[in-house]
């Protein structure tokens, strides 16, 4: 399967699933593929497509703050960043790309769950070494991640964290 077909497959999946995670070891092309999907999806998400880069974030409590900054959410001061994000995204048809979630899996899972509950038209595309563990979340491995195992894109439920 070529990169164009992978991009189309992920876009189709985002049409039926609200959270999709691209999984695999570092360097297999998860970020590049997510950026290609985001660029190809701009028309489908009229209210915005945003990238939240999490590689430099070491504190799980900073995930919502980082997301709010990436979305340029006006700082309302008294409200927690999570509340500001949910209010900002509530009525929007948007795509949020959470890149490099592997070291912040719990915080990213919480962010995704909260935002998806508050914003029915929101879709989230995450990249991580493992899925976030959110119920119903498909994990896809980019083609390079499957090299040496027959190629192709592997789609499946991925790994789940224990409850």
Percent of the chain at pLDDT exceeding 70: 87
> What local confidence, expressed as pLDDT, does residue 140 receive?
87
| Per-residue DSSP letter, 22 | E
Say which residues have a Cβ less than 8 Å from residue 79's Cβ, sequence separation at least 6.
87
Domain residue ranges in the chain = 3-154
Q: Go through 97-133 and write b for each residue having 16 or more CB atoms within 10 A of its CB, e for each that does not.
A: bbbbbbebbebbbbbbbebbebbeebbbbbbbbbbbb
Q: How many CB atoms lie within 10 A of CB 17?
A: 16
Looking at the predicted structure, is the pLDDT value of residue 159 above 60? no
Q: Go through 52-70 and write b for each residue having 16 or more CB atoms within 10 A of its CB, e for each that does not.
A: bebeebeeeebbbbbbbeb
> What local confidence, expressed as pLDDT, does residue 33 receive?
96
Identify the residue whose tokens are 């949910």.
86
Looking at the predicted structure, is the pLDDT value of residue 35 above 70? yes
Q: How far, in whole angstroms, is CA 7 from its chain's centroid?
A: 14
| pLDDT tens profile 82-141 | 999 999 999 999 999 999 999 999 999 999 999 999 999 999 999 999 999 998 888 888
Taking every pair of Cα atoms in the chain, the longest distance, rounded to a whole number of angstroms, is: 53
Name which residue leads in pLDDT, 70 or 148: 70
CATH of 3-154, one of 3.90.79.10, 3.40.50.300, 3.30.365.10, 3.20.20.370: 3.40.50.300
| Per-residue DSSP letter, 135 | T
> What local confidence, expressed as pLDDT, does residue 1 receive?
58
User: pTM to 2 decimals?
Assistant: 0.86
- The chain-wide mean pLDDT, for the chain, equals 87
Query: What is the dihedral angle through the alpha carbons of 39, 42, 48, 54, rounded to the nearest 10 degrees?
Result: -20
Which CA distances in Å does 121 have to 10, 16, 89, 104, 151?
17, 11, 9, 24, 33
Looking at the predicted structure, is the pLDDT value of residue 148 above 60? no
- C-alpha–C-alpha distance, residues 125 and 116, integer Å: 12
């Amino acid at each position: 399967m070529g990169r164009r077909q992978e991009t189309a497959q992920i876009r189709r999946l985002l049409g039926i699933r609200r959270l999709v995670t691209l999984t695999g070891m570092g360097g297999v092309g998860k970020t590049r593929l997510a950026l290609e999907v985001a660029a190809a999806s701009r028309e489908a998400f009229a209210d915005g497509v945003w990238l939240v880069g999490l590689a430099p974030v070491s504190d799980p409590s900073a995930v919502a703050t980082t997301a709010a900054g990436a979305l340029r959410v006006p700082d309302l001061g008294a409200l927690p960043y999570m509340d500001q994000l949910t209010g900002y995204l509530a009525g929007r048809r948007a795509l949020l790309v959470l890149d490099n979630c592997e070291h912040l899996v719990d915080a990213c899972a919480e962010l995704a769950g909260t935002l998806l509950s508050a914003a029915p038209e929101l879709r989230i595309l995450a990249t991580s070494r493992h899925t976030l563990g959110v119920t119903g979340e498909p994990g896809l491995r980019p083609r390079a991640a499957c090299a040496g195992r027959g190629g192709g894109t592997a789609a499946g439920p991925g790994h789940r964290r224990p409850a």
